[in-house]
Amino acid sequence: MGFDIEEFHAQAVKTPSHEHVDEMRELLVETLTDAGHPPDVDDDGNVVVSRGAGDAVSNVAGESDPASPHIVLNTHIDTVAPHVPYERDGDTVRGRGTCDAKGPLAALLAAFLRTEPEAGTLTLAITPDEETTQIGAAALAGTLGADGYIVGEPTDLDVCIAARGQCEAEITVSGAGGHAASVPAADNPVFGLKHVLDGLASYDDAVGPSSHDLLGDPKLTPTIVAGGDTPNRVPAKCRLTVDRRSVPPETSEAFAASLATHLGDALPGAQSVAVDLIDPATPFPDPFVTDSDAAIVDALRTASGGDVRAFGAATEASYFAPTAPTVVFGPGVLADEAGAVAHAEREYIQISDIQAAADAVTAAIDTLC
């Protein structure tokens, strides 16, 4: 029996994957196996399967190189919390993951199953943790040996060739803790937060990267403040969490070091500051830009009729882009005129857009392979 894109999407959205992805991964593996393409599940929980001239040797990383051109279709099966139940009204489907990213998943899966590459290899590589640690994509990035990547996210069928990077850091301001009646203001790390906030506001103008032609300005946003536990005692430390959206050539490690120096210069001499990336064992996506003249961009632009632009959020495409031309593409939107769609209670997608995305990816692969 042929792959039913509407039925698979319905089953996927009805399958919660905000706390764990076990059931969702089982659905994907079962669907591929029933279609005659049993996948591998690696130690990081990625689902990987290939077909075409290299399908006999490329399912298990490291056995041998897949035949070129090697195109990889990638998206993720996890969602943010909370789960929102599936609802359908005509062409519109609502529920958690409808557009981020089970709609793109259905489109890429359909394209993978429809395509018979005359040359080269087509790989479907699906990650389990894009919304959290992104360890799956980071692990895949060095093993696939691809000539191009199509990463499924809600782009409204536009071809996105760039995205800002994203990282989070904790700023710790240290001073002198003690009785509120005796600690001088110059030693009080709570007062030091004023200097830190001023330093955050001036960082990009002073030392940050310049505005990017495609991605625009970097963004540095304080999000969490913590410090102190008793009204009459000055804490020895205060902590401020920041979210960073970066543009080339900035990396997360370079940002943390540069920000620490900048904020240290802004603080009174009696206080000190440290900047630490949150959970440095977890990779952060750096910004990327793909050449607009790349063959994969041209093939997908021709097939979809979409605009070529930057993507509005950080994405696992950042891990693949350093090694091969990478585009972000898919049905659905991050936001519409009424506000947020992806990650929101009102998340929705049009079934016709999922089908159009599948058709466009299929046509682009036919051109490339």
Overall average pLDDT of the 307-336 stretch: 96
Given this model, what pLDDT does residue 69 score?
92
Band (170; pLDDT cuts 50, 70, 90): very high
Tell me the pLDDT of the chain averaged across its residues: 93
One-character DSSP codes across 84-116? ---EEETTEEESTTTTTTHHHHHHHHHHHHH--
138 and 11 in a common domain: yes
Instruction: Tell me which of 253, 277, 301 is where a domain ends.
Output: 277
| Per-residue pLDDT reduced to its tens digit, 107-148 | 999 999 999 888 899 999 999 999 999 999 999 998 999 999
Q: Which residues contact 354 (CB under 8 A, 6 or more apart)?
A: 5, 6, 9, 103, 106, 107, 331
The two three-digit tokens of residue 176, written as one number: 């002198």
Q: How many domains does the chain have?
A: 2
Choose between 59 and 95: higher pLDDT: 95
229 and 129 in a common domain: no
| Per-residue pLDDT reduced to its tens digit, 73-112 | 999 999 999 999 999 999 999 999 999 999 999 999 999 9
Given this model, what pLDDT does residue 67 score?
82
174 and 238 in a common domain: yes
| Per-residue pLDDT reduced to its tens digit, 11-40 | 999 999 999 999 999 999 999 999 999 999
- CATH number, domain containing residue 36: 3.40.630.10
Given this model, what pLDDT does residue 56 score?
42
| Residue 117 within any structural domain of the chain | yes
175 and 149 in a common domain: no
| Residue 194 within any structural domain of the chain | yes
146 and 14 in a common domain: yes
| Residue 338 within any structural domain of the chain | yes
Task: Tell whether the model's pLDDT for residue 61 goes beyond 50.
Answer: no
Place of tokens 């059931």: 23
183 and 109 in a common domain: no
Overall average pLDDT of the 329-354 stretch: 97
Given this model, what pLDDT does residue 54 score?
54
Q: Which residues contact 41 (CB under 8 A, 6 or more apart)?
A: 25, 29, 47, 48
Task: Tell whether the model's pLDDT for residue 339 goes beyond 80.
Answer: yes
179 and 135 in a common domain: no
Task: Tell whether the model's pLDDT for residue 282 goes beyond 70.
Answer: yes
127 and 57 in a common domain: yes
| Residue 282 within any structural domain of the chain | no
Overall average pLDDT of the 152-177 stretch: 96
Overall average pLDDT of the 183-202 stretch: 94
Given this model, what pLDDT does residue 62 score?
45
| Per-residue pLDDT reduced to its tens digit, 45-54 | 999 999 986 5
User: Is this prediction's pTM over 0.85?
Assistant: yes
Given this model, what pLDDT does residue 64 score?
55
Instruction: Tell me which of 277, 296, 312 is where a domain ends.
Output: 277
Band (365; pLDDT cuts 50, 70, 90): very high
Given this model, what pLDDT does residue 182 score?
93
Percent of the chain with pLDDT over 90: 89
Given this model, what pLDDT does residue 58 score?
41
* Residue range of the domain that includes 173: 165-277
| Residue 152 within any structural domain of the chain | yes
The two three-digit tokens of residue 328, written as one number: 């972000």
Task: Tell whether the model's pLDDT for residue 307 goes beyond 60.
Answer: yes
| Per-residue pLDDT reduced to its tens digit, 171-191 | 999 999 999 999 999 999 999
- CATH number, domain containing residue 192: 3.30.70.360
156 and 17 in a common domain: yes
Band (60; pLDDT cuts 50, 70, 90): very low
Task: Tell whether the model's pLDDT for residue 226 goes beyond 80.
Answer: yes
Which of 290, 357, 365 has its CA nearest to residue 154? 357
236 and 103 in a common domain: no
Instruction: Tell me which of 249, 277, 305 is where a domain ends.
Output: 277
155 and 296 in a common domain: yes
Handedness of CA 250, 254, 258, 260 (dihedral sign): positive
206 and 247 in a common domain: yes
